[in-house]
Amino acid sequence: MKFSITKRLKGTLGRVGRIETPHGAIETPAFIAVGTKATVKALTPEMVRELGAQATLENTYHLYLQPGDEIVRENGGVAKFMHWDGPTFTDSGGFQVFSLGAAFGKGVSKVATGDVAREEDGRAHKKQKEDHGALAKIDEEGVTFKSHIDGKTHRFTPERSMEIQHNLGADITFAFDECTSPVDPIEYQKEALDRTHRWAKRSLEHHQALGISSATGKQQALYGVVQGGKYRELREESAKTLGAMDFDGYGIGGSFTKEDIGTAVAWVNALLPEDRPRHLLGIGEPIDMFLGCENGVDTFDCVAPTRMGRNGGVYTKDGRLNLFNAKFIRDLGPIEDGCACYTCKNYTRSYVAHLFRSEEMLAGTLASIHNLHFIISLVDKIRELMSEGGYFEFKEAFLSRYYATK
């Protein structure tokens, strides 16, 4: 992998650049589509390409459990397996340590808002009662967890995650980390951070020992993952510690409070080596794209566009809409006026609302196309303006319209 910076946004940490991987280049900043189980849900790779995605991000935990990383390797690696002809990333499975461990049954989102500690997500709570507790337990060596599919016990260590990711064969991989809960106390955040740093070192050493991907025969890049929650001293310590290691790039892992995303990213990126790309893990609301880009993030990934899309939520320049609302039943306009996506060029809100109400699969497909196109082209626009000027004017106009009271 090669990374080059072509332009900087004056007075900020922001930069415009290019990541070259064995399977193609990524112009940055860029939004990466999430395809956890080797598919961007509801979309074919051709659709994903057409709506503007430059790369996709798959998941180690999910593909290890199903179909198994050996099978993906036999298929020539995850990109070939899923018929995606561009660059790919794989997350390490570290996030699942959080979502199946600390966050299990507590309704704690990675982006905390308000009284998360006391709120209980009904769905997770119900599942917890069925399954009698968290599925993951952490120790110094790694994580023991139960499959959410069949309950069987498995174990991940940094070394194991690297082996699996080498079998999956993505161009860019991540070190095995622990994503803490936003409600964990600072003492635990510190303990987890130190462990994540030891895991980072072990990930890097094992990655180097493994050499080229057994699936593709290509050299893979490895990103270390900065943690530290909302605490500045921990974030900075993490950036310095990992920055001193020989990673190809860096992931910035959550957990933040919503207000702190921009500041936490700035603390970290001020200290990370400038010549290596940074990926902000799992962040994807429109406002976050601005905060990330001007604070030196090069790539993002997030499930929000596709998950929300499947649930009837769509982004527009005038804010988010819920296509299940009665007011759209007879709305003959496109989801978003002036949008160039396939969905908006060909269908009315009325039609897509009908598909959602009648539970037709195409609903999720059309909404996912629009949402991914929306967020990808937003980041594309940001990249263009960071390079050619007009970024701040655009940001102000966009956000004031997006958040205008309707």
Element (H, E) at 353: helix 349-357
CB of 329 to RNA, least distance (A): 7
Give the residue with the Cβ less far from RNA, 257 or 387.
257
Does residue 59 touch RNA according to CB under 7 A? yes
Place of tokens 């050493």: 205
Compare residues 43 and 386 and give the one whose CB is closer to RNA.
Answer: 43
Site size toward RNA (CB under 7 A) is: 67
CA distances (Å), origin 230, targets 10, 50, 76, 233, 276: 26, 37, 40, 9, 23
> Of 9, 55, 63, 111, which one interacts with RNA (CB under 7 A)?
111
User: Cβ closer to RNA: 8 or 258?
Assistant: 258
Residue 395 and residue 392: Cα distance in Å, rounded? Answer: 5
Strand segments, DSSP code E, in 199-352 are 221-226, 249-252, 256-257, 278-280, 299-301, 313-316, 319-322
For residue 41, how many other CB atoms are within 10 A of its CB?
A: 17
The number of beta carbons lying within 10 Å of the beta carbon of residue 384 is 15
Of 65 and 215, the one with the shorter C-beta distance to RNA is: 65
Among positions 12, 44, 75, 109, the unique one binding RNA when judged by CB under 7 A: 109
User: Cα-flanking dihedrals φ and ψ of residue 357, to 5°?
Assistant: -65, -30
In 22-124, the DSSP E strands lie at 24-28, 30-34, 56-59, 88-91, 111-112
Q: Which is nearer to RNA, 180 or 213 (CB)?
A: 180
Peptide bond before 22: cis, by omega within 30 degrees of 0? no
For position 258 contacting RNA by CB under 7 A, the verdict is: yes
* Cα–Cα distance measured from residue 226 to residue 280, given in angstroms and rounded to the nearest whole number: 10
In this complex, which beta carbon is closest to RNA, that of residue 10 or of residue 155?
Answer: 155
Span near RNA by CB under 7 A; candidates 75-83, 185-193, 239-247, 353-361: 353-361
- The 3-state DSSP class for residue 24 equals strand
State yes or no: residue 398 binds RNA (CB under 7 A). Answer: no
DSSP H helical ranges for 3-121: 45-50, 60-65, 69-74, 78-81, 94-97
Residue 285 in the binding site for RNA (CB under 7 A): yes
Q: Does 88 bind RNA (CB under 7 A)?
A: no
Q: 8 near 14, Cβ under 8 Å? A: yes
221 is an interface residue for RNA by CB under 7 A: no
Q: What is the closest distance, in whole angstroms, from the C-beta atom of residue 97 to RNA in the complex?
A: 8
160 near RNA, rule: CB under 7 A = no
Binding segment for RNA (CB under 7 A), chosen from 68-76, 307-315, 343-351, 379-387, is 307-315
CB of 314 to RNA, least distance (A): 9
| Minimum distance, C-beta of residue 232 to RNA, in the bound complex (Å) | 18
Does 253 contact RNA by CB under 7 A? Answer: yes
Residues 300, 316: Cα–Cα separation, whole Å: 19
Q: What is the 3-state secondary structure (H, E, C) of 237-278?
A: HHHHHHHCCCCCEEEECCCEEHHHHHHHHHHHHCCCCCCCCE
272 binds RNA (CB under 7 A): no
Query: Nearest CA to 23 among 81, 69, 91, 71?
Result: 81
Is position 284 an interface residue for RNA (rule: CB under 7 A)? Answer: yes
Q: Distance between the two ends of the chain, CA-based, in angstroms? A: 45
User: Catalytic amino acids?
Assistant: 91, 301
Select from 72-80, 88-96, 236-244, 344-352 the region that touches RNA (CB under 7 A): 88-96
Q: 344 φ, ψ to 5°?
A: -70, -30
What is the CB neighbour count within 10 angstroms for residue 149? 9
Kindly state whether residue 288 participates in binding RNA, applying the rule CB under 7 A: yes
Query: Residue 251 interacts with RNA (CB under 7 A)?
Result: yes
User: Which residues within the stretch 310-349 sit at the binding site for RNA (CB under 7 A)?
Assistant: 310-313, 322, 324-327, 329
Closest separation between CB of residue 10 and RNA, Å? 26
Q: Which one among 283, 335, 375, 382 touches RNA, defined by CB under 7 A? A: 283
179 binds RNA (CB under 7 A): yes
The residue type found at 405 is T
Contact positions with RNA (CB under 7 A) in 181-220: none
| Residues of this chain that bind RNA (CB under 7 A) | 34, 36, 40-41, 57, 59, 62, 91-92, 94-96, 98-100, 104-105, 109-111, 113, 121-124, 126-128, 131, 135, 148, 174, 177, 179, 225, 227, 251, 253-254, 258, 281-285, 288, 301-304, 306-308, 310-313, 322, 324-327, 329, 357, 359, 361, 364
